[in-house]
């Protein structure tokens, strides 16, 4: 049974393996160069300034196309597995009528399905894991610089979650194939369904795995401010504090009473800002502030000084050291969902397809 | 008594439509059973119920005294060749033989290889490139090499040309001859079955019309030709299956318990095809009668 399932799956497996090998070779050839770029930039920064703060490391822009490709692959490969390994798994047999051959051999449907799901499911998880391993390794010098692996976009391309995504996409494909009994619609639904689940989990479920840390932070009047003016209504923002590899849920300006600066308050606190006929947006960033006119610049700094004297920032975030716990939670979530789908498939193939 | 197939009030419904209903059937072991009926009569439904691909909506069915496809042991006892003889198009004949060997504990590899060799087929050839007749032979090989007690074939020769048809039925009969196996095969053509079957089931319009051994059917059915006469005036024990009348003459196909003694009749013996066609026509006119009743109620 296992040998025959493998025979049926062999061609698809070889295509997958070939893809992995090609990508692996490309990453192996280009990876050392990234490490070199990173190391020499770090050495240069140390030599010139005696520190890394504010030093721009060119490694983040090196091999830009390959970076995009590698990230895209980690995103796309699980859903490709769902569409090309999962959806046809049962649907093809139902379409071509070979299920009548398979289900009348001396093997129960339950076992037939469990072996197929187990074999190809395992292969899916292995492909996801290898892909993640290769790309995480290749990206490690870049990650050291960007320090944002906890961000919604980056989290799913690191660690072991890609393996669980691949497993889940496969299970979703197999289930839709079983329900629709046609490969093509099952592929389309798998594509849409997988993207929807990933987005929902990343945006709404993942932040709640653990209750976030809340911290009050003093504002630095010299960096990271923005004042916006739209239709004459003022609002002010401040960049959250630098928390490498943390997941910032929210960062709000509040006073001692816990209230945010209102437009009316800003009108009073910052009377000299350019009026509605002036430039719509005044921005400040980094060490200094950019403004349209010297008078505007002065008014801007004055405004920020006033605001930072009365307000502080409340940052809600998941600290960087929770990264692996979150990886474990999300992996468990997707593995459990895959197991539930597989259980449903087994029930359906015994009860409903007869 | 042990039955190859034992159905009680068996029915299968798809939505509001009954594909098979009120089927009571008991087939003893050791027969080659022909299941005849027009397309859409419910033959495939009955066979799928027997091999466990479908579950009944009403009544019950037992095959070799157990529920169909109850477990691996029961699955091993029944061989099945589905309609259009599905095979894995991209896999070779050798792959299919491996498939059979892995999926069936009682697999007779020598028989399978010998059959493939006798058909002059290259084991490396893909199933997708076989002709219809060759594919049917491959499917039959898979079914017989699992050494079943009951072999079920759903329209195995429907899509084959006359030569392939004959060869297929011949190799089926060879297998039946050298083993202790019962066979149920369906066809919409009586001619296919006449040569090979010793038991016939006629299914029309999702209902069982008649079932019995061919010899019994031949012995109990007669065509009566004589002066015009009302069918109601026949003695009890003579059931009219088909009738036609001219001004002076009546022709009736009857099922009779004993010999026809009335000297007014010319009594003719019938072929299996005559009998089967009569039952098909019988069901047809019954349906028309039901339709008329419906119309009368409406008007």
Of A4, A96, A104, the CB nearest to B75: A104
User: What is the rounded distance in angstroms from the CA atom of residue A307 to the CA atom of residue A259?
Assistant: 12
For A112, the closest chain B residue by CA position comes to B103
By the 8 A CB rule, do B169 and B197 touch?
Answer: no
Confidence of residue A255 (pLDDT cuts 50, 70, 90): confident
User: Which range has the top average pLDDT, B125-134, B230-239, B288-297?
Assistant: B125-134
Asked if B91 and A7 come within 8 Å (Cβ–Cβ), the reply is: yes
User: What is the rounded distance in angstroms from the CA atom of residue A43 to the CA atom of residue A46?
Assistant: 5
Asked if A97 and B82 come within 8 Å (Cβ–Cβ), the reply is: yes
A353 SS3 class: coil
Decide if pLDDT at A283 tops 50. no
> What is the gyration radius of the CA atoms in chain A, in angstroms?
27
Nearest CA-CA distance, residue B59 and chain A, Å: 15
Confidence of residue B40 (pLDDT cuts 50, 70, 90): confident
Asked if B52 and A4 come within 8 Å (Cβ–Cβ), the reply is: no
Half-sphere exposure of A37 (CA within 13 A, CB side): 20
Nearest CA-CA distance, residue A93 and chain B, Å: 9
The whole-number pLDDT of residue A50 equals 55
The string of DSSP letters for B41-99 reads SSHHHHHHHHHTSS--SEEEEEETTB-TT-SHHHHHHEEEE-TT----TTSBHHHHHHH
Of B89, B91, B104, the CB nearest to A106: B104
Decide if pLDDT at B299 tops 50. no
Decide if pLDDT at A63 tops 70. yes
A277 SS3 class: coil
Distance of alpha carbon A36 from its chain centroid, rounded?
27
The whole-number pLDDT of residue A20 equals 95
Asked if A8 and B91 come within 8 Å (Cβ–Cβ), the reply is: yes
Asked if B103 and A100 come within 8 Å (Cβ–Cβ), the reply is: no
- B-chain residues within 8 Å CB-CB of A4? 98-99, 102-103
B205 SS3 class: coil
Which is nearest to A318 in space by CA: A209, A232, A178, A199? A209
Decide if pLDDT at B241 tops 80. yes
Nearest CA-CA distance, residue B262 and chain A, Å: 52
Decide if pLDDT at A278 tops 60. no
Nearest CA-CA distance, residue B134 and chain A, Å: 16
Task: Work out the number of other CB atoms within 10 angstroms of the CB of residue A300.
Answer: 23
For B51, the closest chain A residue by CA position comes to A104
Residue with more model confidence, B153 or B191 = B153
Decide if pLDDT at B139 tops 50. yes
Of B55, B86, B102, the CB nearest to A101: B86
When scoring B89, B103, B127, B142 by the number of chain A Cβ atoms within 10 A, the one with the most, hence best to mutate, is B103
Decide if pLDDT at B151 tops 90. yes
For A305-351, write each residue's pLDDT tens digit. Answer: 888 888 888 889 999 999 999 999 999 999 999 999 999 999 999 88
By the 8 A CB rule, do B60 and B9 touch?
Answer: yes
* Least trusted range by pLDDT, from A208-217, A222-231, B266-275, B285-294: B285-294
Look at the alpha carbons of A109, A113, A114, A115 in this order and tell me if their dihedral is positive or negative. Answer: positive
Residues in Cβ contact with B81 at an 8 Å cutoff, skipping those fewer than 6 apart: B136, B139, B140, B142, B143, B151, B152, B153, B154, B156
Of A4, A8, A354, the CB nearest to B103: A4
By the 8 A CB rule, do A334 and A164 touch?
Answer: yes
Distance of alpha carbon B219 from its chain centroid, rounded?
20
Decide if pLDDT at A23 tops 90. yes
The whole-number pLDDT of residue A289 equals 42
Strand pairing report for B150-153 and B78-81:
parallel
- B-chain residues within 8 Å CB-CB of A103? 52-53, 69
Asked if B75 and A4 come within 8 Å (Cβ–Cβ), the reply is: no
Confidence of residue B292 (pLDDT cuts 50, 70, 90): low
For A69-95, write each residue's pLDDT tens digit. Answer: 888 899 899 999 999 999 999 999 999
Strand pairing report for A213-217 and B3-14:
unpaired
The string of DSSP letters for A90-153 reads HHHHHHHSTHHHHTTSSS-HHHHHHHHHHHHHHHHHHHHHHHHHHHHHHHHHHHHHH--TTSHH
- A-chain residues within 8 Å CB-CB of B95? 7
Instruction: Please count the residue pairs, one from chain A and one from chain B, whose beta carbons lie less than 8 angstroms apart.
Output: 74
Asked if A104 and B71 come within 8 Å (Cβ–Cβ), the reply is: no
Distances, alpha carbon B42 to alpha carbons B26, B39, B210, in Å: 17, 8, 14
Distances, alpha carbon B204 to alpha carbons B12, B38, B211, in Å: 15, 7, 12
Decide if pLDDT at B16 tops 80. yes
A262 SS3 class: coil
Which is nearest to B45 in space by CA: B143, B154, B182? B154
Decide if pLDDT at A148 tops 80. yes
* Least trusted range by pLDDT, from A130-139, A202-211, B37-46, B254-263: B254-263
Distances, alpha carbon B57 to alpha carbons A223, B13, B18, B23, B49, in Å: 75, 6, 9, 12, 10
A236-242, long-range: CB < 8 A, 24+ apart: A236/A261, A236/A266, A236/A303, A236/A304, A236/A307, A238/A308, A238/A313, A240/A313, A240/A315, A240/A317, A241/A217, A241/A313, A241/A315
Indicate the fold that domain B3-204 takes in CATH.
Answer: Rossmann fold (3.40.50)
A205 SS3 class: helix
Residues of A with CB under 8 A from a CB of B: 1, 3-4, 7-8, 11, 96-98, 100-109, 111, 354
Strand pairing report for B3-14 and B58-63:
antiparallel
Decide if pLDDT at A246 tops 50. yes
Domain with CATH 3.40.50.300 in chain B: 3-204
- A-chain residues within 8 Å CB-CB of B88? 8, 98, 101
- B-chain residues within 8 Å CB-CB of A354? 52-55
For A7, the closest chain B residue by CA position comes to B95
User: Which range has the top average pLDDT, A209-218, B26-35, B290-299?
Assistant: B26-35
For B75-95, write each residue's pLDDT tens digit. Answer: 999 999 999 999 999 999 999
Decide if pLDDT at A285 tops 50. no
User: What is the rounded distance in angstroms from the CA atom of residue B20 to the CA atom of residue B59?
Assistant: 11
When scoring A103, A106, A351 by the number of chain B Cβ atoms within 10 A, the one with the most, hence best to mutate, is A106
The whole-number pLDDT of residue A275 equals 53
Nearest CA-CA distance, residue A131 and chain B, Å: 29
Buried/exposed B179-204: b ≥16 CB within 10 Å, e otherwise: eebbbbbbbbebebbbebbebbbbbb
Asked if B82 and A111 come within 8 Å (Cβ–Cβ), the reply is: no
For B102, the closest chain A residue by CA position comes to A1
- A-chain residues within 8 Å CB-CB of B99? 4, 7, 105
The stretch A136-151 carries a mean pLDDT of: 87
Distances, alpha carbon B266 to alpha carbons A80, B22, B215, in Å: 76, 36, 21
Where helices occur in chain A by DSSP H, the ranges are 2-49, 64-81, 87-96, 99-102, 109-146, 152-155, 161-180, 183-200, 263-269, 294-310, 323-351
- A-chain residues within 8 Å CB-CB of B72? 106-108, 111
For A111, the closest chain B residue by CA position comes to B72
Q: Is B106 exposed, middle or buried (0-12, 13-18, 19+ CB in 10 A)?
A: exposed
Asked if A108 and B71 come within 8 Å (Cβ–Cβ), the reply is: yes
Asked if A106 and B139 come within 8 Å (Cβ–Cβ), the reply is: no
The whole-number pLDDT of residue A62 equals 77
When scoring A101, A110, A351 by the number of chain B Cβ atoms within 10 A, the one with the most, hence best to mutate, is A101
User: What is the rounded distance in angstroms from the CA atom of residue B289 to the CA atom of residue B227?
Assistant: 26
The stretch A64-71 carries a mean pLDDT of: 86
The whole-number pLDDT of residue B297 equals 47
Buried/exposed A46-72: b ≥16 CB within 10 Å, e otherwise: eeeeeeeeeeebebbebbeeebeebbe
User: What is the rounded distance in angstroms from the CA atom of residue A31 to the CA atom of residue A21?
Assistant: 15
Mean pLDDT score of chain A: 86
Asked if B69 and A104 come within 8 Å (Cβ–Cβ), the reply is: yes
Confidence of residue A270 (pLDDT cuts 50, 70, 90): confident
Decide if pLDDT at B261 tops 90. no
* Least trusted range by pLDDT, from A263-267, B14-18, B172-176, B257-261: A263-267
Decide if pLDDT at A175 tops 80. yes
Half-sphere exposure of A9 (CA within 13 A, CB side): 26
């Amino acid at each position: 049974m296992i040998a025959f399932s493998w025979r049926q799956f062999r061609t698809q497996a070889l295509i997958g393996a070939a893809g992995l090998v090609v990508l692996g070779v490309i990453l192996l050839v280009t990876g050392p160069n990234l490490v070199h770029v990173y190391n020499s930039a770090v050495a240069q920064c140390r030599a010139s300034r005696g520190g890394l703060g504010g030093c721009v490391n060119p490694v983040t822009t090196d091999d830009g196309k390959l970076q995009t490709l590698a990230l895209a692959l980690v995103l796309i490969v699980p859903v490709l597995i769902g569409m090309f390994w999962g959806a046809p798994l049962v649907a093809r047999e139902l379409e071509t009528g070979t299920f009548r051959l398979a289900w009348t051999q001396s093997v129960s449907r339950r076992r037939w399905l469990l072996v197929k799901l187990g074999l190809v499911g395992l292969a899916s998880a292995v492909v996801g894991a290898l892909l993640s391993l290769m790309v995480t390794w290749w990206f490690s010098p870049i990650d050291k610089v960007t320090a944002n692996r906890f961000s919604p976009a980056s989290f799913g391309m690191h660690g072991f979650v890609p393996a669980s995504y691949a497993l889940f996409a496969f299970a979703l494909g197999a289930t839709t194939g079983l329900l629709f009994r046609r490969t093509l619609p099952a592929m389309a639904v798998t594509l849409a369904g997988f993207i929807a689940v990933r987005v929902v989990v990343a945006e709404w479920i993942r932040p709640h795995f653990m209750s976030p840390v809340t911290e009050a932070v003093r504002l630095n009047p010299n960096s990271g401010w923005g004042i916006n003016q739209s239709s004459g209504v003022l609002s002010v923002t401040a960049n959250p504090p630098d928390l490498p590899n943390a997941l910032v849920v929210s960062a709000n300006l509040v006073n001692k009473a816990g209230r945010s600066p209102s437009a009316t308050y800003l009108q009073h606190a910052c009377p000299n800002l350019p009026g509605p006929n002036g430039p719509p947006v005044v921005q400040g960033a980094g060490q200094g502030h950019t403004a349209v006119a010297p008078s505007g610049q002065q008014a801007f700094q004055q405004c920020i000084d006033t605001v930072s004297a009365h307000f502080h920032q409340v940052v809600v975030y998941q600290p960087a050291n929770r990264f692996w716990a979150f990886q474990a939670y999300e992996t468990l979530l997707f593995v459990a969902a895959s197991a539930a789908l597989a259980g449903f498939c087994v029930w359906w193939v015994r009860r409903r397809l007869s | 008594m042990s039955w190859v197939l034992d159905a009680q009030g068996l029915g299968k419904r798809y939505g509001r439509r009954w594909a098979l209903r009120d089927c009571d059937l008991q087939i003893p072991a050791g027969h080659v059973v022909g299941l005849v009926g027009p397309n859409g009569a419910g033959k495939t439904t009955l066979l799928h119920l027997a091999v466990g691909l479908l579950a009944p909506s009403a009544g019950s069915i037992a095959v070799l005294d157990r529920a169909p496809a109850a477990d691996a042991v029961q699955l091993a006892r029944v061989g099945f060749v589905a309609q259009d003889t599905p095979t894995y198009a991209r896999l070779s004949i050798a792959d299919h033989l491996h498939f059979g060997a892995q999926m069936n504990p009682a697999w007779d590899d020598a028989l399978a290889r010998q059959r493939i060799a006798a058909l002059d087929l290259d084991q490396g050839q893909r199933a997708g490139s076989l002709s219809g007749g060759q594919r049917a032979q491959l499917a039959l090989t898979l079914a017989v090499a699992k050494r079943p007690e009951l072999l079920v074939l759903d329209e195995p020769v429907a899509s084959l040309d006359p030569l392939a048809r004959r060869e297929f039925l011949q190799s089926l009969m060879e297998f039946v001859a050298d083993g202790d196996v019962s066979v149920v095969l369906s066809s919409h053509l009586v001619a296919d079955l006449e040569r090979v079957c010793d038991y016939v089931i006629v299914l029309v319009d999702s209902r069982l019309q008649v079932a019995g051994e061919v010899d019994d059917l031949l012995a109990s059915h007669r065509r009566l030709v004589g002066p015009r006469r009302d069918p109601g005036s026949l003695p009890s024990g003579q059931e009219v299956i088909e009738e036609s009348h001219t001004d002076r003459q009546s022709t009736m196909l009857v099922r009779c318990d004993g010999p026809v003694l009335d000297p007014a009749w010319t009594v003719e013996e019938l072929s299996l095809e005559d009998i089967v066609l009569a039952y098909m026509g019988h069901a047809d006119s019954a349906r028309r009668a039901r339709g008329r009743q419906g119309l009368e109620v409406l008007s």
